[in-house]
Amino acid sequence: MSSRILIIEDERSIAELERDYLEIAGYAADIEGSGDTGLQRALSEAYDLVILDLMLPKVDGFEICRRIRSEKDIPILMVSAKKEDIDKIRGLGLGADDYIIKPFSPGELVARVKAHLSRYERLMGRKETKNDEVRIRGLVIDRTARRVFVNGREVVFTTKEFDLLTYLAVNPNRVFSKDQLFDHIWGMDSMGDIATVTVHIRKLREKVEQDPSNPQYIETIWGAGYRFRI
């Protein structure tokens, strides 16, 4: 997936030129022409880098930079026609990663964007650490971190509960008998009784279902077993 870049620039012709060159380089770029809407998108959406003009209507670039940096670590490239060192020092002091003075060549902008994105990815190790997640309606199962979120709220599971929930969720709309689930989760050589499957299904429903008596995720198929519905 290509990196997403947000351009916050009130001069439309400049913003469109920047976007065109970034898209030619393989990036996805969006434009916001006002400081308030630009700030809102920068904070609420998943961008990999922000190109930020200094002089903007509603909210200026300094304030936007400060707000973004207080919540996110993504690279910020500040752009301005103002050449005064004090503005550059202030922008970098607020957390901007670079300061480009207008007029500049689009090629220079793209080169700086590439450099900062590469550096950011190396520092964060993002490509190597992206978690394996299963998302089904309001349920998020983070298989890498072994964490579960139900409607945005984290719910704690035991090891076997997590394994059972994950196995059902990654095999949706398929019916498993109690014997099959027991063999897969506990192992054929495990000491125990398949009745433990029933107990664990009940616990899962208590944790993930809004109404455990009327389950929307884990269905009982009478005489056959259980099925995870998507």
Q: Rounded to an integer, what distance in angstroms lies between the CA atom of residue 197 and that of residue 179?
A: 9
Domain spans, the chain: 4-129, 133-228
Q: What is the CATH number of domain 4-129?
A: 3.40.50.2300
Tokens representing residue 113 in the block: 């964007």
Quick: pLDDT tens for 12-34.
999 999 999 999 999 999 999 99
Q: Could you tell me which residue, 223 or 90, shows the higher pLDDT?
A: 223
pLDDT digits (tens, 9 = 90+) for 159-181: 999 999 999 999 999 999 999 99
Condensed to tens digits (0 to 9), the pLDDT of residues 189-204 reads 555 678 899 999 999 9
Tell me the pLDDT tens digit for each residue of 104-129. Answer: 888 899 999 999 998 888 777 655 55
What radius of gyration, in Å, describes the C-alpha atoms of the chain?
25
Give the HSE-up count for residue 136: Cα atoms under 13 Å, Cβ half-sphere: 19
| 133-228 has CATH 1.10.10.10 classification | yes
Q: Are 229 and 173 in contact (CB under 8 A)?
A: yes
